[in-house]
Amino acid sequence: MCSLDRHLRPCKETFGWLVSRTVPDVHSIVAASSFFYRQTLGIRITVRPVYLPEQSRPMQHRYVFAYFVRIENVGPHPVQLMSRRWLIHDEIGEDTEVEGEGVVGQQPLVLPGAIHEYQSSCVLKSSEGYMEGQYRFVRPDASVFEAQIPRFTLHADDVSGRFS
């Protein structure tokens, strides 16, 4: 079992919260994938990336990944997620920065002990890469802070092209 602490650690465990929120055809893929986590100032962020071979086209250099995010407020104060900043690295050498308000159209209020979960996706031109970034939060006293999103690897399990 992987213990959660302030350090980035990949683990091979299945989270019920993640598997229960996936579509049936990626269930077995999700169960086998790693998760990555990091805790900053009372916010624990866990990410589990999943390669989606049925949506990918390796022969056309299109590799699709879903990632599932769990944001836990383990601190003493409510916080509201205001914005995000993602750095996406594709092994072909392309780096992309994505910034915006909230996550998937929401700016959730996360109370102490509460959890906010969502899923999103990205497309790479190569079979490997990584993502990392920050979420910007605000507390009731109007203080603003950034919680680090752990760097997580994106790796296509099947690069044979049979899905193209």
Is pLDDT of 17 > 70?
Answer: no
Residue 7, pLDDT score: 33
**Are 48 and 155 in contact, with CB atoms under 8 Å apart?**
no
Please, are residues 18 and 26 in contact by the beta-carbon 8 Å criterion? no
Percent of the chain clearing pLDDT 70 (strictly above): 76
pLDDT band of residue 47 (cuts 50, 70, 90) is very high
Q: What is the pLDDT of residues 54-68, one digit of tens each?
A: 999 999 999 999 999
Q: What tokens appear for 96 in the block?
A: 């992309």
Give the number of other Cβ atoms within 10 Å of residue 108's Cβ. Answer: 18
Count of CA atoms in the C-beta half-sphere (13 A) of 129: 24
Supply the pLDDT for residue 125. Answer: 97
* Residue type, position 29, single letter: I
Quick check: helix, strand or coil at residue 107? Answer: coil
* CA nearest to 147, candidates 127, 133, 129: 133
Question: Token digits for 159?
Answer: 């690069």
What are the structure tokens assigned to 130, written together? 């990584």
**Mean of pLDDT over the chain:** 82
pLDDT of residue 155: 94
Q: What is the pLDDT of residues 83-138, one digit of tens each?
A: 999 999 999 999 999 999 999 999 999 999 999 999 999 999 999 999 999 999 99
- Domains of the chain: residue spans and CATH: 16-155 (2.60.40.1470)
How far apart CA 23 and CA 37 sit, in angstroms, is: 23
